[in-house]
């Protein structure tokens, strides 16, 4: 309680005061930024996607960095964090079992759950047996307090010592960074369960919020994440802002990450289609809409689903064939045929997608004219 109220208070007073009296230079702001990234990415890529969800495997060196960055973020050791988080996914929105259930309001899910011992947050390590086998996680667990002090005080002080202003670096890289990096993570438990779109599923309160992704290293695509939690990406499209995903992918090129898990694109598309269909039905159920338009919706929905199934099948075949080619030469014509039908299907999908949105649009305008 003291820690969580004192640190923001001190940051609000001391950081501007020192800035007014002495000023900060570029080096000190870079130290702040570097430590923000160190903490933030250790939580998102390490604590969250690697340890809690096993979305990929990390090299011991990388796990060590994440263990240090996690201690620096002061969000408890990885065992507590992952145990709470797995419970959050398993019992999401159940107020008595989800440790930071959004159903208990913004304040509770943001930070309230940490401030007091609630029953829903009781320690129970039975769901992290795999992490208890991890030597680095164990080491962090045993030396947590020491690591917290080293990374939060010794590290920024050392950065300041190199530059000749220890206090400035302690204030920016230590204090301000600590408060900001903590609240950024908490936003994912609060805002990302309140504001945004339920693109892939409405089974939980999790939302996709691209704006939130900008400050949470990509974790704002929280509806996708709760729907496909084993995926190393949260922003599934290549253009979705998800620096955590980009980092994990880049590290795989140098062997620091392996076994990156992805969801089949057809499965993702199917989930999205089903949500759109469900929403259209709810929206237009009691409206005055021509029967043929209703029939069209059903028909396009069926067709779209079938096409996605075909696409998935051909895609699997194509991936297998590519694999095979590495071992033996797959007959040339066979390969060409596969590739062609795969391309055709992708084209058909594009047309289908257009038709689907056309139907949704005409439904909407039919409602508008009827009203
Ligand atoms: Zn998660
Ligand atoms: Zn969540």
Using one digit for the tens of pLDDT, what is the confidence trace for 49-101?
999 999 999 999 999 999 999 999 999 999 999 999 999 999 998 888 888 88
Please check whether residues 32 and 154 belong to one and the same domain: yes
Range of the domain at 307: 265-370
What percent of the chain has a predicted confidence (pLDDT) above 70?
97
Please check whether residues 162 and 201 belong to one and the same domain: yes
Distance 188 CA to ligand 2 centre (A): 7
Confidence at residue 139, expressed as pLDDT on a 0 to 100 scale:
97
The model's pTM is 0.90
Please check whether residues 365 and 218 belong to one and the same domain: no
259 φ/ψ sector (left φ>0, alpha ψ -120 to 50, else beta): left
102: pLDDT strictly greater than 90 = no
Confidence at residue 78, expressed as pLDDT on a 0 to 100 scale:
97
Q: Is residue 210 part of a domain?
A: yes
Closest to 235 in 3D by CA, of 287, 248, 108: 248
Q: Is residue 159 part of a domain?
A: yes
Confidence at residue 325, expressed as pLDDT on a 0 to 100 scale:
67
Q: Is residue 318 part of a domain?
A: yes
Distance 142 CA to ligand 1 centre (A): 24
Please check whether residues 269 and 358 belong to one and the same domain: yes
249: pLDDT strictly greater than 70 = yes
What's the rounded mean pLDDT across residues 326-340? Answer: 71
Q: Is residue 260 part of a domain?
A: no
293: Cβ contacts below 8 Å, ≥ 6 apart: 359, 362, 363, 366
Confidence at residue 327, expressed as pLDDT on a 0 to 100 scale:
63
Please check whether residues 321 and 190 belong to one and the same domain: no
Judged by its nearest atom, the ligand closest to the C-alpha of residue 230 is 1
Distance 226 CA to ligand 1 centre (A): 7
- Tell which of 195, 224, 254 closes a domain: 254
Contact 41, 69 (CB under 8 A): yes
Number of structural domains found in the chain: 2
- Picking from 61-75, 140-154, 335-349, which range would have the lowest pLDDT averaged per residue? 335-349
Distance 119 CA to ligand 1 centre (A): 21
Judged by its nearest atom, the ligand closest to the C-alpha of residue 229 is 1
Mean pLDDT computed over every residue of the chain: 91
Euclidean distance between CA atoms 320 and 58, whole angstroms: 26
What's the rounded mean pLDDT across residues 295-305? Answer: 91
359: Cβ contacts below 8 Å, ≥ 6 apart: 293, 296, 297, 300
Please check whether residues 289 and 221 belong to one and the same domain: no
- Tell which of 254, 275, 308 closes a domain: 254
Q: Is residue 53 part of a domain?
A: yes
Please check whether residues 111 and 56 belong to one and the same domain: yes
Please check whether residues 154 and 204 belong to one and the same domain: yes
Distance 75 CA to ligand 1 centre (A): 15
Q: Is residue 259 part of a domain?
A: no
- Tell which of 254, 277, 311 closes a domain: 254
Q: Of 38-52, 92-106, 119-133, which one has max mean pLDDT?
A: 38-52
Distance 206 CA to ligand 1 centre (A): 10
- Picking from 67-81, 84-98, 128-142, 222-236, which range would have the lowest pLDDT averaged per residue? 84-98
Please check whether residues 315 and 243 belong to one and the same domain: no
Q: Which CB contacts under 8 angstroms, 24+ apart, belong to 258-263?
A: 258/56, 258/57, 258/59, 259/56, 259/57, 260/55, 260/56, 260/232, 261/54, 261/55, 261/56, 261/230, 261/231, 261/232, 262/231, 262/232, 262/233, 263/228, 263/230, 263/231, 263/236
Distance 76 CA to ligand 1 centre (A): 16
Judged by its nearest atom, the ligand closest to the C-alpha of residue 53 is 1
Task: Please give the residue that has the higher pLDDT: either 187 or 332.
Answer: 187
326: pLDDT strictly greater than 70 = no
Please check whether residues 189 and 228 belong to one and the same domain: yes
Please check whether residues 213 and 356 belong to one and the same domain: no
Distance 102 CA to ligand 1 centre (A): 14
Please check whether residues 211 and 233 belong to one and the same domain: yes
What's the rounded mean pLDDT across residues 114-125? Answer: 81
Distance 225 CA to ligand 2 centre (A): 8
Q: Is residue 122 part of a domain?
A: yes
Confidence at residue 371, expressed as pLDDT on a 0 to 100 scale:
67
Distance 224 CA to ligand 1 centre (A): 10
């Amino acid at each position: 309680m003291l820690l969580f109220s004192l640190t923001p208070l001190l940051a609000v007073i001391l950081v501007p005061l020192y800035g007014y009296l002495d000023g900060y230079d570029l080096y000190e702001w870079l130290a702040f930024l570097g430590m923000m990234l160190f903490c933030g990415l250790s939580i998102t890529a390490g604590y969250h996607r690697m340890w809690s969800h096993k979305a990929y495997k990390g090299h011991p060196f990388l796990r060590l960095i994440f263990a240090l960055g996690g201690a620096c973020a002061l969000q408890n050791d990885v065992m507590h964090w992952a145990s709470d988080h797995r419970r959050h996914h398993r019992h999401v929105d159940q107020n008595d079992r989800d440790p930071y259930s959004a159903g208990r309001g913004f304040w509770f899910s943001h930070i309230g759950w940490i401030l007091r011992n609630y029953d829903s947050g009781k320690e129970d390590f039975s769901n992290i047996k795999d992490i208890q086998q991890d030597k680095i996680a164990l080491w962090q667990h045993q030396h947590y307090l020491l690591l917290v002090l080293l990374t939060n005080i010794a590290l920024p002080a050392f950065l300041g010592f190199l530059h000749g202003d220890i206090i400035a670096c302690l204030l920016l890289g230590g204090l301000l960074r600590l408060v900001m990096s903590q609240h950024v993570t908490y936003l994912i438990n609060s805002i990302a369960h309140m504001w945004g779109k339920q693109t892939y599923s409405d089974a939980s309160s999790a939302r996709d919020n691209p704006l939130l992704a900008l400050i949470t290293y990509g974790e704002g695509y929280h509806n996708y994440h709760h729907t496909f939690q084993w995926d190393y990406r949260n922003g599934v499209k290549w253009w979705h802002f998800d620096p955590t995903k980009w980092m994990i992918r880049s590290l795989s090129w140098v062997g620091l990450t392996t076994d990156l898990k992805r969801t089949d694109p057809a499965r993702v598309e199917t989930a999205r289609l089903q949500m759109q269909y469900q929403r259209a039905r709810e929206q237009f159920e009691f409206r005055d809409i021509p029967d043929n338009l209703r029939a069209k919706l059903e028909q396009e929905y069926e067709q779209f689903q079938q096409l996605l199934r075909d696409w998935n099948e051909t895609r699997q075949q194509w991936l297998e064939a590519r694999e095979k080619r590495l071992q033996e030469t797959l007959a040339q014509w066979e390969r060409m045929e596969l590739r062609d039908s795969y391309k055709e299907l992708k084209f058909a999908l594009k047309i289908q997608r257009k038709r689907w949105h056309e139907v949704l649009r005409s439904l909407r305008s039919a409602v508008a004219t009827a009203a």
